[in-house]
Chains A and B, each alone.
Chain A
Amino acid sequence: MSDGADGTVEPRTPFPTGAEAEPGEGGGQKPQGLGPRYQRVATLLTRLASTARSFLLYDAGNEAINRSLSALLDSALSTLQVEGQIALTVQPYELKFEDQTVYLNRDRERSLAFRLYRDGVRGLTFRKGFQAEELTRLLEILSIRYTGVNQREDDMVTLLWKARFEHLDVTTVEGIVPEETDAGDEETASSRRLVLPDDVDLPRPTLPPPKGPTWIDVPPERLRALREEAGEAALPDDCLALLGRLRRALSDSKEQLPFGEVAHLFGEVRDYLLSVDRLPALKRFGALLWEMAGEETPEWDPQRHAAVYDLLDSCGHRRAVRRLLRSVPAEERKLRPELIEVLDRVCPDPLVAVMETLDEEEGLATRAVARQALEHYSRRKPGLLEQRFLLSRGRMASDLLRVMAHVGGEASVAFVAQQCLHPDAAVQDEALWHIARTPYSGVLGRSLFEAFRRADPDRRSRILEIVARSGDARFLEPLTRYVEERGDGLGTDEASRIGRVLGILGGPESIARWKAWLQPAGGRRKGFEAPLPRIVAAATALAFIRAEAAAEALGAAFDEADETSQPWILGALAQRQRQAWEAAR
């Protein structure tokens, strides 16, 4: 180590240059030439750092984070199984295991080692028994990168202390690591202290004549109730109580407290309450602001009204609505009525705000709830929804279509059906999904068939299902022409699917048509005149017609079939048999 005269010390190992070290993600460098034990620990720490970095990027239900967590846990458990314990020394940019560097990152913002070191952590020892629950708690702490930005309440040391790990020991230094001082500093430091006056809180309180005390057992339920006052559940009420108290101070002519001094606190409480789990408190917050907005402006604070109105407006801003909708738990899909009440109260244009959130958000729960909110609001302004739909693409467009389908009911069926032809695949899928669940009507017919012609095989298959269920015989001709036009270009699987529909729709009256497609080739050779796809379609059609004549036609076709077509004819016969058995049961 090289010692500075002032007691500062440079790290011993010179940092690898770019040529020497393999760069890792986020400024990290993979230490080189480690033996298998150290490599195992190094891998664990790299995983820990990268999982901590991505911890807050995803929904808790997201597969990526869950996979990452599982891999990290496996790594931790297997390493602990072998090592018994992992004792790490924390240095400014490195973590060391038995004096070997096993983690190195010089980016002060991203480096796990630096953040620990800066806050005063000097050692971490993982012991056997460290499991999933503690790992989650540790990641929660390590993932908070920006708490120091403005809170100055907690750091790594205090957060690790509060977590009270059973299988993770944390070694820290006393206080905060001081910066280098220069000659003028000591004097400044000592002159910087302030002592309160000796008569603080005097005169003493006036109390009744002394008596007792006695030992009184406090009932457990009272203790529980007291502890709950300091719990997470009580915090929204505490926030509102504080704001209520400050509101009184704001009106106190002796105090002359300008709103500007407390505005940021109101904003912070607003952001905290913007959660679906705190809707009742958020409503009260909105009500408080409305009341304040109606109060007289004191002469010492002429800007107050404007500031309060700005705050009120901010509750309905896009950012606030987005925050609110984003707070929907991952497993939730249902819109809470209180959410609508809150939006009505604070948001001047909830329809637009919710639409914009839907456009930006990926989370399934957020989008599900946002769609339901849109359904509620778009009943008042259906035109706006359609306008926005026309300008949208992808997932947003499909979401809007879903909303329009729910809101419009029967009247929207035609519009939805048209979207089967939408250039956007997501919209086509959405349209098909709705049509599949909508009672069939003739309005759907043309759009469906047009969509069928243009769609990819997967979508065509879905459309065929819808057509089959429709029972609309008007599809018979177009589908028949489709098969004839495609000739050999039609896949046999698709031909089979079409054939099924042809049989269902055509019924016994269509047997003659399918027999015509099964015209033998003639002469001595087996086989048929028509191309294979047409044969397949015909055979399948006959398989799904409940008539003896169809069975006979299939039987005759089997006699004429060649090697290529025989399996399909057999398949059709087997299908008939299956249906007969099922009918018999």
Chain B
Amino acid sequence: MLESEFMRLAFATGAVVGLLAPAVGFFLVQRNMSLVGDGVGHTAFAGVAAGYLLGVSPVLTALVAAVAGAVGIEWLRSRHRAAGDQALALLFYTGLAAGVVLASSAGALDVDLFSFLFGSILTVTRGDLVLVAVLGVAGLVVIGLLYRALAAVVIDEEGARVAGVPVAALNVLVAGLAGVTIGLSMQIVGILLIAALMVLPVIAAGRVAWSMSSSVLLSMGIGLASVFAGLTLAYYADLPPGGAIVLLAAAAFVVTSILEAARSRA
């Protein structure tokens, strides 16, 4: 399998995505914002379509659209311009509609677009890998450096605000990281399923984690294992990688739920 260059590229990109998506997703899930990734994914779809229309890299335009969408949700939410779910709905439907209109205008409603929606291991190029590695590792470093601050906001947002912690800036940072993660992950997992990789490993880890830090690390471990196993399954069974990866992450939830039940009976 790894003799093929496209699989080596897919695994290298997947390694970064498998670690980054749950690490960012953790801070969304703990703030009851699990579905933000879905909304941002749909703006990324509009970004891909805009890329086709403009004749520039769809990955870059999707990245820009995803970051703008994520920061937009956070702005609407924090300014109380819309309730969290309303802000999400606004972005979700506007992104999808804009994507369809732009893709249609570009004459790109075809198989290429389909590969962005559900992921394709054939689409990752060396240039993509460099982009994913640089931005992905930078994202992980930022999370590592600011972990205590991000955790403090999750634990008690109002208390952090009273103490002068820059809560608004940290929330925008998490939203921006969510946008970057989605932009980077769409080729491997697909726009429609990337949010699942940000959420399912976190929920699975939460069943057996004994602390917040262990939950983050377990989430990243489950994310990485799901991506590697999912890519392998996709290669040998000729499946879309996004579906295989997300089903394995869901299976991890079943396993950790059984472990939790067994532990509580012991």
Whether A and B are associated in the same complex: the answer reads no
Residue numbers of B with Cβ under 8 A of A are none
